[in-house]
Amino acid sequence: MGLTDCCRRTFAFTREILRQPAKGDGDLRFSDLGFFLRFARPIWKAGVLALVATAIVSALKTVLPLSIKVFIDNILLGEAPSSDAILAGAGGLLSSLDLLIVALLALGLLTGATDLARNYLTARFREGYAFNLQTALVEHVLSFPLSYFKSQQTGYIMSRLSDDVQILQYTISQYLPQIVANALYVAFTLVILSILSLSLTFVVLAFIPLYLLVNAVFVRRIRAATHRERERQAYVSRDLQEVISGIDTVKSHAAEDREVHKVSGTLRNMVDARIKNTMLSAFSEYFRIGTMSLMLVAVIWFGGNEVLAGAMTVGDFVAFAVYIMTFAPTVNTFFAFPVVMQPALTSAARLHELFGMHGESGAAPGAGGIVPGAVQGRIEFAGVWFGYDRSDWVLHDARFVIRPGEAVAVVGRTGAGKTTLINLILRAFAPQRGTITLDGHDLMSLDPQWLRRQISIVSQDLFLFHTTIEENIRYSRPEATVEEVVEAARRAQIHDEIVRLPDGYRTIVGERGTQLSVGQRQRVAIARAFLKDAPILILDEPTSALDLQTEDLIRRTLRTLVQGRTTILISHRPSLLELADRILAVEDGRVRECRDAGPGRGLTGYGDAPLWHGA
């Protein structure tokens, strides 16, 4: 690459990162910041005390450089105290070196003790705020409809829930205390500087507009770059989570290189965004440091001339210079605050976006969802139309009734809409037309949590938590006793196998239950359904991955489980279809009653194809 090409690329890169971004709809407005104050209300006392301690520490640190003036003018040179009342009082009280040293030691001890108290109070406020924020966020996100979680990947959701909160927490713990301390230090210092030399103080203030100009140029650009970086970081988390979750499939297909290439592409996009963000911050820091350097040069030049002209004492100038040496970096940090806050504001905007999303109707306390007194189990689809894309309907005018205590099998080819029926009953999605009712109540008017407590699900895609067998069975009813858990396991034909394990019911099943066989996991899920004892049961391909011997064992277990419950069975296994009283066939988006079913009855099929073909 030639020098010309290198210069051209550098110029193009600089022009790209300095381009003024368009104002985004998701930008956080100043008025939105009030939303985040609600999480500080329970811990406001710790916050106020931390601010008071910060003010005291800043004031004490501001006094320290005055000792240099007293040491030079009053002790070394023996000059008369200043004409200013405050400085004269300090010079009079600290007229000897011994008194000055004692005063400095006392000031140091008081400052250190107050700073320790400030750190403790700040930590209490920071951790309390993060706890309140993340608890409220998790509660809100869990109220989202199932359709949100089905449409988003786990890694992306986890990034939104953890990374943004951590960044906001870091900002509260690092930048906010720092900016408050710096603001107080600047205010106290300006008062003392004006006492030492009013004319030099005006010189210092003349540089403030330059800091404001730097912020005006870089703030929105850094905010937009940070938003891009956060989103791409979430995509990296999404892809990594997917690869790790599907590691068996990746290795069985020798696809490691492909997945590395895929992840590296996402990482490259994040790295590019991070480099641009870093360079924007570097540019803004460069201009702020340049402004600070100019201010120091101006103070030395003007102050030196005043000392030579006899308008300032040497002690005044040295004290002023020491104040400026600490004041200039503090001012630099203070005016950098709007820039360094952009990552936090970006995270706050993303969190505000999540809080702005609506949960399920009736999912939040007091939302008004209907809670019927009892459940008979009558489910009716009346003219239901549904499609994930309105141009492609999955269900067309579905009309059928499942009577209380009835077992109904749903069959059809892959993609016909069988699982969609289940998702609609669970309110994972809402029909675009028509209504679904439970005992005459529209599902959309019911409290979704109450609704799901009335339904037990056993499927091939079951989920076991990384805890004990006992806790996994009890998940459906946390208050259940050990005896009730054991009885549920007995009814699910899994108790004898559990007690033969080294730790029995205390055995850890591993992530997603990998320490158990497929049949054991299936029966643990059935035990969970027995323990829940819900009036409605959904069996979604519960034996499709099992061998015939295990399937026969589970089929006998399910025969007990379905008794007296409204049951919806999705399966292509003829042996399981014998559990059903009736069969519904889903074909081309339409639901048609096929015929009665039951033990000993032949399964001839619907149309020209067997009923269980490709279900």
Identify the pLDDT of residue 71: 66
**Residues comprising the chain, all counted:** 615
- pLDDT tier at 231, thresholds 50, 70, 90: confident
Predicted pLDDT of residue 574: 77
The pLDDT mean for the chain works out to 75
Residues contacting residue 224 through CB under 8 Å, at least 6 positions apart = 21, 24
- Phi, psi (deg, nearest 5) at residue 382: -120, 100
3-state secondary structure of 586: strand
In the prediction, which pLDDT does 147 show? 67
Q: Nearest Cα to 228, choosing from 24, 444, 375?
A: 24
What's the CA angle centered on 281, arms 277 and 286, to 5 degrees? 145
Q: Which part of the chain has CATH 3.40.50.300?
A: 362-454+534-615, 463-532
Q: Is CATH 3.40.50.720 what the domain over 463-532 is classified as, yes or no?
A: no
Q: Is 415 left (phi over 0), alpha (psi -120 to 50) or beta?
A: left
Position 174 scores a pLDDT of 64
Q: What percent of the chain has pLDDT over 90?
A: 2
Q: Kindly indicate the confidence band of residue 73, based on its pLDDT and cuts at 50, 70 and 90.
A: low
Residue type, position 28, single letter: L
**Least-confidence region, from 186-190, 212-216, 601-605, 606-610:** 606-610
How far is it, in rounded angstroms, from Cα 165 to Cα 157? 12
Task: Reply yes or no on domain 362-454+534-615 having CATH 2.130.10.10.
Answer: no
- DSSP class of residue 408 equals E
User: Is the model's pLDDT at 504 over the cut of 50?
Assistant: yes
Does residue 268 surpass a pLDDT of 50? yes
* C-alpha dihedral, 346 to 347 to 353 to 358, nearest 10°: 180
pLDDT(368) > 60: no
Beta strands in 439-589 (DSSP E): 441-442, 455-459, 536-540, 566-570, 582-587
Average pLDDT score over residue span 304-316: 79
Q: Please give the residue that has the higher pLDDT: either 384 or 388.
A: 384
pLDDT given at position 327? 67
- Is 538 a residue whose pLDDT tops 80? yes
Q: Which residue has the higher pLDDT, 75 or 590?
A: 590
- Give the highest mean pLDDT range of 19-28, 120-129, 228-237, 547-556: 120-129
| Beta pairing class for 433-438 and 441-442 | antiparallel
Nearest to 274 by CA among 318, 228, 320: 228
Distance of CA 50 to the CA centre of its chain: 27
Distance CA 84, CA 306 (A): 18
Q: What is the pLDDT of residue 595?
A: 57
Calculate Rg over the CA atoms of the chain.
Answer: 35
- Least confident window among 290-294, 350-354, 608-612: 608-612
**In sequence order, what are the residues at sequence separation of 6 or more whose Cβ sits closer than 8 angstroms to the Cβ of residue 424?**
384, 386, 395, 430, 431, 436, 443
Least confident of 217-231, 427-441, 490-504: 217-231
Report pLDDT for 614: 35
Q: Supply the DSSP symbol for 606.
A: B
Are 269 and 232 a contacting pair, CB within 8 Å? yes
pLDDT given for residue 602 in this prediction: 41
Write out the H or E segment, with its range, that includes residue 290.
helix 256-308
DSSP state of 562: T
Q: Which pair of tokens denotes residue 386? A: 């549904």
- If pLDDT is split at 50, 70 and 90, which confidence band does 606 have? very low
The whole-number pLDDT of residue 360 equals 66
Asked whether the predicted pLDDT for residue 456 surpasses 50, the reply is: yes
* Residue 130 φ then ψ, to 5°: -60, -40
Q: Once rounded to an integer, what is the mean pLDDT over residues 484-505?
A: 87
CATH superfamily of 33-353: ABC transporter type 1, transmembrane domain (1.20.1560.10)
What is the band of 336 on the pLDDT scale with cuts at 50, 70, 90?
A: low
For residue 77, which phi and psi values (nearest 5 degrees)? -90, -15
Q: Is 200 helix (H, G, I), strand (E, B) or coil?
A: helix
Confidence class of residue 605 from pLDDT cuts 50, 70 and 90?
Answer: very low
Q: What is the DSSP string of 318-335?
A: HHHHHHHHHHHHHHHHHH
The separation between CA 62 and the C-alpha centre of its own chain, rounded to angstroms, equals: 40
What is the structure's pLDDT at 512?
65
- Can you give the pLDDT at residue 339? 63
Q: Which stretch of 51-55, 227-231, 263-267 has the lowest confidence by average pLDDT?
A: 227-231
* Of the candidates 140, 69, 57, the residue with the CA atom closest to the CA atom of residue 100: 69
DSSP string of 457-474, one letter each residue:
EEESS----SSBHHHHHH
Q: What are the tens digits of pLDDT across the range 241-255?
A: 777 767 766 765 567
Residue 253: what pLDDT? Answer: 57
Q: Please, are residues 324 and 296 in contact by the beta-carbon 8 Å criterion?
A: yes
In this prediction, residue 615 carries a pLDDT of 33
- One DSSP character per residue, 377-396 reads --EEEEEEEE-SBTTB-SEE
Distance CA 520, CA 510 (A): 13
Instruction: For 74-99, write each residue's pLDDT tens digit.
Output: 666 655 444 444 444 444 455 567 67
φ/ψ (deg, to 5) at 437 = -125, 150
Whole-angstrom distance, CA of residue 205 vs CA of residue 202: 5
Least reliable range by pLDDT among 183-197, 433-447, 600-614: 600-614
- Partners of residue 441 on adjacent β-strands: 438
Residue type, 367: A
Sign of CA dihedral 199, 189, 329, 346: negative
DSSP state of 596: E
Task: Return the residue matching tokens 């008979």.
Answer: 376
Token pair, residue 423, equals 């998702």
Q: Residue 418 and residue 17: Cα distance in Å, rounded?
A: 50
Supply 284's token pair: 């803004």
Residue 566: what residue type? T
Contacting residues for 474 by C-beta, under 8 A, at least 6 apart: 480, 485, 531
pTM of the full predicted structure?
Answer: 0.58
Proportion of the chain above pLDDT 70, given as a percent: 75
